[in-house]
Amino acid sequence: MRTALLVIDAQASFAQRPNWRDVSNPDLVANIHRLVAAARSHGELVVWVFHSEPGTGGVFDPELGYVTPLPGLDPHADEPRLTKTSHNAFTTTNLQQLLTTRQIGQVRITGIQTERCCETTARSRPTSATTSTSSPMRPRRSRFPTRPRQQTATGMSYAPIHAHCRPMR
């Protein structure tokens, strides 16, 4: 079974946000770099997915120049780069077509915002036209660069949810 690593939203846009230092893992680039290097060494496809909000004037507007890899991450020229405008990487890109034509049967995910774009992508993988079920998705919680939030905007604790999460090995 062929495998692909999706690197979702590992882009300079996030570093422009005022809360970046509070929510980012200091080992972010090193963690993602390590996963990308391992995928490449195993001959796996690495797909870079960037979030874009054209015309907004915000940090995700491509006109500002931040919809680029984080410094220290270096996509190879032969690795696909996709741009999405929704939370999941399937809705507004040709990701499913890319995975199907490359005969990818398993997908691993890393990136920024575990609880949003990475997780939504993992849940949103369409069923393949050639099989009755979608291919396995393997989010790597232990490798995501953002720290788990400790409470909701209303002050409710996330501790009960975090207690049930287990990193994949």
- Helix/strand/coil for 20: helix
How far apart are the C-alpha atoms of 32 and 72, rounded to whole Å?
A: 10
CA quadruple 102, 106, 110, 115: dihedral sign: positive
**Rounded CA Rg of the chain:** 16
How far apart are the C-alpha atoms of 25 and 23, rounded to whole Å?
A: 7
Provide the residue type at 27 as one letter: D
Per-residue pLDDT of the chain in tens (169 residues, 90 and over written 9) = 899 999 999 999 988 988 887 777 888 899 999 999 999 999 999 999 999 999 999 999 999 999 999 999 999 999 999 999 999 999 999 999 999 999 998 999 999 876 788 888 888 876 544 333 344 554 444 344 445 555 555 555 555 544 544 444 3
CB-based contact 73:34 (threshold 8 Å) = no
pLDDT of residue 133: 39
Alpha-helical regions (H) of the chain: 12-15, 20-23, 28-41, 95-101, 119-124, 159-162
pLDDT, tens only, 8-52: 999 999 889 888 877 778 888 999 999 999 999 999 999 999 999
Q: Which residues contact 79 (CB under 8 A, 6 or more apart)?
A: 45, 46, 47, 48
